[in-house]
Amino acid sequence: MSWVKTGIAASTVSESLPRELLLGARTLVLVRAGGSVHALDGICPHLGALLAEGTVDGDRLVCPLHGAAFAVSSGFVLADPFGLEPPEGGVSALRRFATRIESGMVEIEVPDDRSA
């Protein structure tokens, strides 16, 4: 695992709008919730929608395509596209990446290529 500079100022990450981040071959989404910046997989595991085009309400990130909802703070599924809550439904959780703020800029801890 290594820390990667994103080039994104923490002050530009909104509590109400997810922000797409391309990091190498990865598409991530940055969201501020509870005063912290969180980084998650940016592609919905249901049908591949870009989660940066979704909506945020508190700790809830909602997919723009079919409405699957994920916890921003953990990546856990809150509801699948049919509104079913776990353990029902068949949507996988989003991978969450550790974040830190260094000199006002967001950094993300990502696995080395061989452990991706």
Domain ranges of the chain: 2-115
Cα first-last separation, the chain: 10
Rounded CA-CA distance 51/28 in Å is 8
Q: Report pLDDT for 6.
A: 95
CATH 1.10.150.120 corresponds to the domain 2-115 = no
Can you point out the beta strands (E) in 24-115? 26-33, 36-41, 55-57, 60-62, 69-71, 77-79, 96-97, 99-102, 105-110
Residue carrying structure tokens 């990450």: 13
Determine the pLDDT at residue 114. Answer: 53
Distance CA 27, CA 40 (A): 9
The pLDDT profile of the chain, 116 residues, written as one tens digit per residue, is 899 999 999 999 988 899 999 988 899 999 999 889 999 999 999 888 999 999 999 999 999 998 899 999 999 999 888 877 776 777 899 999 999 999 999 999 988 765 44
Joined tokens for residue 61: 């990130």
